[in-house]
Amino acid sequence: MLTNSPTENGRNSTLVRQPTFHKLIRVGLPNRLRGEIWELTSGSMFLRIRSPKLYEETLAKFDGQESLAIDEIEKDLNRSLPEYPGFQSEEGIGRLRRVLTAYSWTNAEVGYCQAMNIVVAALLMYVRSCRVHCRNC
């Protein structure tokens, strides 16, 4: 179904209009398309286009500031998909920390709640950090 997806079915928003799209979602997405489809169907692609620097600007604006949400994030970082090697290194944990921190500042009413680390960790397996954050804004 997806062998020639970009040429036969289009790419990004044109893919959704294809009759096979909903079947594809039900059957399961290939790993190579999961990030792109998540970004498209969640609407984060459009948020990222509208505010392309929001992630970096949020991190810079609140750099070094503390909050209850950040304390809770730090407690949960090492519990995030411990079986996945990508989150056993400082680089992987840093990516997770930055996305969760940016979200907590962007949506201060929610801040951080337990298990957000698991959801974000799963998304980070397929999408760049700034793209994960855009959906949460």
pLDDT, one tens digit per residue, over 98-130 is: 999 999 999 999 999 989 999 999 888 888 655
Q: Which domain holds residue 60?
A: 52-136
28 and 57 part of one domain = no
DSSP per position, 39-97: HHHHSHHHHHHHSTTHHHHHHHHTTT---HHHHHHHHHGGGSSTTSGGGSSHHHHHHHH
Number of folded domains that form the chain: 2
Same domain for 56 and 37, yes or no, is no
Q: Is residue 71 a part of any domain in this protein?
A: yes
- Is the pLDDT confidence value at 135 over 60? no
Over 70: is that where the pLDDT of 16 sits?
A: no
CA distances from residue 1 to 35, 48, 118 in whole angstroms, order as listed:
18, 29, 30
The reported pTM is 0.76
**Do 66 and 107 belong to one domain?**
yes
In a domain? residue 47: no
pLDDT higher than 50, residue 4: no
Amino acid code (one letter) for 88? Q
In the predicted structure, residue 47 carries a pLDDT above the cut 90? no
Same domain, 22 and 66: no
pLDDT for 66:
94
Q: Is 68 in the same domain as 38?
A: no
Q: What confidence tier does 33 reach under pLDDT thresholds 50, 70, 90?
A: confident
User: Do residues 31 and 61 both lie within one domain?
Assistant: no
Is 69 found in the same domain as 124?
Answer: yes
Residues 67 and 88 in one domain: yes
pLDDT digits (tens, 9 = 90+) for 52-80: 899 899 999 999 999 999 999 999 998 88
Is the domain of 129 the same as that of 63?
A: yes
Do residues 62 and 112 share a domain? yes
